[in-house]
Amino acid sequence: MQSILILGCGNMGGAMLAGWLASDLSLKLTVVDPALTEVPAGVRLLRQVPAEPFDMILLGIKPQLLGEVAPALAAVMTADTVLLSILAGAEIASLAGHFPVNGGIVRVMPNLAAAIGKSPIGLFGAGLTKESRAAVTELMVPLGTPEWLVREADLEAVTALAGSGPAFVYRFIDALAAGGASLGLDPAQAQRLALSMVEGAALLAVQANAPPAALARRVTSPAGTTAAGLAVLDDHAALESLIAATLGAARDRGAGLAAEARGES
Q: What are the per-10-residue average pLDDT scores of the chain (265 residues)?
A: 92 95 94 90 93 94 88 91 92 92 94 95 96 96 96 92 93 97 97 96 92 93 92 93 94 82 65
Helix 238-261, helix 225-234: angle, nearest 10: 50
Asked if residue 193 is part of any domain, the answer here is yes
One domain, residues 183 and 146: no
One domain, residues 49 and 134: yes
CB atoms within 10 A of CB 9: 23
Query: How much helix, strand and coil, in percent to the nearest 5, is found in the chain?
Result: 55, 15, 30
Asked if residue 263 is part of any domain, the answer here is no
Taking the C-alpha atoms of residue 184 and residue 124, their distance in angstroms, rounded to an integer, is: 48
Taking the C-alpha atoms of residue 82 and residue 154, their distance in angstroms, rounded to an integer, is: 21
Residue 227's CATH number: 1.10.3730.10
Asked if residue 214 is part of any domain, the answer here is yes
CB atoms within 10 A of CB 14: 21
pLDDT value at residue 264: 63
Taking the C-alpha atoms of residue 59 and residue 87, their distance in angstroms, rounded to an integer, is: 7
pLDDT value at residue 260: 75
Asked if residue 265 is part of any domain, the answer here is no
Taking the C-alpha atoms of residue 149 and residue 160, their distance in angstroms, rounded to an integer, is: 15
Residue 125's φ and ψ, nearest 5 degrees, are -130, 165
CB-CB contact of 105 with 99 (8 Å): yes
pLDDT value at residue 237: 93
pTM (2 decimals)?
0.87
Asked if residue 82 is part of any domain, the answer here is yes
Asked if residue 77 is part of any domain, the answer here is yes
Number of domains present in the structure of the chain? 2
pLDDT value at residue 265: 55
One domain, residues 243 and 121: no
Quick check: helix, strand or coil at residue 53? coil
One domain, residues 135 and 176: no
Among 129, 155, 181, the domain boundary falls at: 155
CB-CB contact of 128 with 106 (8 Å): yes
Taking the C-alpha atoms of residue 219 and residue 207, their distance in angstroms, rounded to an integer, is: 16
One domain, residues 148 and 87: yes
One domain, residues 205 and 85: no
One domain, residues 239 and 176: yes
Structural domain harbouring 55: 2-155
One domain, residues 119 and 149: yes
CB-CB contact of 149 with 123 (8 Å): yes
Among 135, 155, 175, the domain boundary falls at: 155
Among 121, 155, 189, the domain boundary falls at: 155
Residue 132's CATH number: 3.40.50.720
Taking the C-alpha atoms of residue 137 and residue 140, their distance in angstroms, rounded to an integer, is: 5
Query: In the chain, count of helices (H) and strands (E)?
Result: 10, 8
Quick check: helix, strand or coil at residue 220? coil
70-73 long-range contacts, CB within 8 A, separation 24+: 70/98, 70/99, 72/48, 73/7, 73/49, 73/99
Taking the C-alpha atoms of residue 199 and residue 197, their distance in angstroms, rounded to an integer, is: 5
Taking the C-alpha atoms of residue 243 and residue 70, their distance in angstroms, rounded to an integer, is: 38
